[in-house]
Structure 1
């Protein structure tokens, strides 16, 4: 027996620590879901556990998310088990959907995927052993975490409303003047596309999780790599919504357009680009519109999808580019976000991706400077949007290039560190700092 075997078997060894970490994480998720459900029940909106109950026995809130979770679970199964699981889920969905529709309910799916995902997890835990059991439970856990994350996110949107009765859209719009008010111009562009163009953009916008699953399944087709898209997606969904409470914003179509329910400043989005108002104030808003603009998580997720598609087949790279372009166009063109939201979302994505990518390289100065720099840039952007909106609006020829330059600097550092061609000056700059630090640490003391 080797020393490594003893370390694994010894109490407190790597396997024990891994199990403790998983158990602690599962307990933390369970407690968080219960807490949010209690808040939801007392405040009168649907909580995550109630929504999950609907996925099992009533009408699922989403038809695609349960199937996306089941698709992730398939990664840990053999082909024979995949065929059985997917066939069972499809059959259950057809029967349940037909019964629901015939009884006067909506025609949708998702129950079968939820049932089968749960059944696979239970069966693997009870009947399988070794690598088969470990792989199956890892896939089921990942799929379940995706579903639970969406449930938590839906409930968190209600929390943003309770936490932010006053919104900061006048500040965001004034800061956005530094970028040329792109939402207004893209809104006019989307209007000119007509119903077909709008329909395509809307489908791309709402089905971003489906595209993400396609990329993730491609990455996981041969096993579990050290890093894959779902990890970034989940961490963006965990970290990003915190900023909704710190910087509550509802978006142009609500604050300056027709969807404001009487709380809007005026109805001039997107046809009339507003004249800058150099006396912005927090404005009260309704109790139904989520404050989920700053930063743009759709931008962060679409950029993560684009980044992870770069190392795939040509059709995956093409799909990643298409989804990114369409998502950015829809995000602005539908009036859901300001341009400054998109910049913040892109910086958030690059910062989180820098922390997760290439974990085998460890944590050196190459990674610290990216993550630390990204966090500082994101904090600087949000503080500037709030407290320097007036000078940003007065001097767009200065503030605009500074905002875009900050994003460009983070993007260049990220590309140089993780994507530059080896043995080029850019690649050496991206990782040279790490090597220099390593050499210093390895040098003998005098």
Structure 2
């Protein structure tokens, strides 16, 4: 509907604004203290933006609305913003979201040079997760805002067909690995940090390999591989939470 689309489209498009608001809160005392905080969202955003497109080049995947659907024209009738970038001509067939794309052995599809290879991993998911992580120590309103922006961004990313669900799983693992590496760098690369980064990188590479070489096997057994993928993501989340909790300074009795 018009309300749901435009609301989520606004959230999806204004992700940088949310990042700026979090950065303003984290860097509010820089002028007084004459130093940057040890770990802040600007650095995380920059690293995600530097590493993510490189993976796009290694793993060029196009979202379902671009590959199998009518593109952004699907919502043209209800959008309050004019669409300046028609994408319908990129699709190989008009299937999604009316008809699920057929399951077949993956193969390259020829696209023009303007087609966004924007899927693996989902950087919107990575950036929204980074915002969520960096708002955990803020005031209650900021924590609620970070949670809202993450949930709304995930809904928009999936609902609009910009990404597949597998991309979101990879995006979460990707950003947690980046965050772990940045925080480990600040700490001098101790053993726990190295183990966390190595584990996150291993799971991320395993996800990419499984998406590339086992998609038909996973499609034939979704109730087996679906929970396994979610479990792999959950294991990285658990490792990150447990490891970083041990890095927090303990209050004196």
The TM tier, using the shorter chain, reads 0.7 to 0.9
Residue correspondence of structure 1 range 77-96 to structure 2 within 5 A: none
Alignment match, 1:362:
188
CA distance in 2, matches of 1:360, 1:246: 29
Displacement over 4 Å in runs of 4+? 420-423
Between Structure 1 and Structure 2, whose CA radius of gyration is higher?
1
Q: CA deviation at 1:393?
A: 1.0
Q: 1:389 aligns with which of 211, 215, 219?
A: 215
Whether 1:268 and 2:95 are equivalent positions in the alignment is: yes
SS in 2 for 1:225: coil
CA distance in 2, matches of 1:275, 1:283: 14
Alignment match, 1:230:
42
TM-score (norm: length of structure 2): 0.85
Alignment match, 2:174:
348
Given that residues 48 and 178 in structure 2 are in contact (C-alpha distance below 8 angstroms), is that contact kept between their aligned partners in structure 1? Answer: yes
For the aligned residue pairs, the C-alpha RMSD in angstroms reads 2.0
Whether 1:203 and 2:15 are equivalent positions in the alignment is: no
Q: CA deviation at 1:387?
A: 1.0
Give the unaligned 5+ runs of structure 1: 1-193, 424-446
Q: CA deviation at 1:245?
A: 0.8
Given that residues 226 and 358 in structure 1 are in contact (C-alpha distance below 8 angstroms), is that contact kept between their aligned partners in structure 2? Answer: no
Residues 226-235 or 360-369, more deviating: 360-369
Q: CA deviation at 1:357?
A: 2.2
CA distance in 1, matches of 2:185, 2:217: 41
**1:363–1:231 CA distance, 2 compared to 1 (3 A):** same
User: How big is each residue's C-alpha offset from its partner over 1:184-242, in whole Å with a ceiling of 9 and x where there is no partner?
Assistant: xxxxxxxxxx1112111111111111110111111111222111011111000001111
Given that residues 122 and 163 in structure 2 are in contact (C-alpha distance below 8 angstroms), is that contact kept between their aligned partners in structure 1? Answer: yes
User: How big is each residue's C-alpha offset from its partner over 1:283-320, in whole Å with a ceiling of 9 and x where there is no partner?
Assistant: 11133221111110000000000000010001100110
CA distance in 2, matches of 1:403, 1:239: 22
Alignment match, 1:102:
none
**1:321–1:382 CA distance, 2 compared to 1 (3 A):** same
CA distance in 1, matches of 2:18, 2:223: 37
Q: 1:335 aligns with which of 146, 151, 161?
A: 161
Given that residues 263 and 286 in structure 1 are in contact (C-alpha distance below 8 angstroms), is that contact kept between their aligned partners in structure 2? Answer: yes
Alignment match, 1:406:
232
The structure richer in helix per residue is 1
SS in 2 for 1:357: helix
Higher relative CO (Cα under 8 Å, sequence separation at least 6) belongs to 2
CA distance in 2, matches of 1:421, 1:305: 20
Alignment match, 1:280:
106
User: How big is each residue's C-alpha offset from its partner over 1:128-161, in whole Å with a ceiling of 9 and x where there is no partner?
Assistant: xxxxxxxxxxxxxxxxxxxxxxxxxxxxxxxxxx
Alignment match, 2:54:
242
Alignment match, 2:77:
none
Paired residue total:
230
User: How big is each residue's C-alpha offset from its partner over 1:354-405, in whole Å with a ceiling of 9 and x where there is no partner?
Assistant: 0112655321221111111111111111111111111111111221112111
Given that residues 219 and 225 in structure 1 are in contact (C-alpha distance below 8 angstroms), is that contact kept between their aligned partners in structure 2? Answer: yes
TM-score (norm: length of structure 1): 0.49
Q: CA deviation at 1:249?
A: 1.2
Given that residues 226 and 359 in structure 1 are in contact (C-alpha distance below 8 angstroms), is that contact kept between their aligned partners in structure 2? Answer: no
Residue correspondence of structure 1 range 105-254 to structure 2 within 5 A: 194-223=1-30, 224-254=36-66
User: How big is each residue's C-alpha offset from its partner over 1:27-76, in whole Å with a ceiling of 9 and x where there is no partner?
Assistant: xxxxxxxxxxxxxxxxxxxxxxxxxxxxxxxxxxxxxxxxxxxxxxxxxx
CA distance in 2, matches of 1:411, 1:396: 22
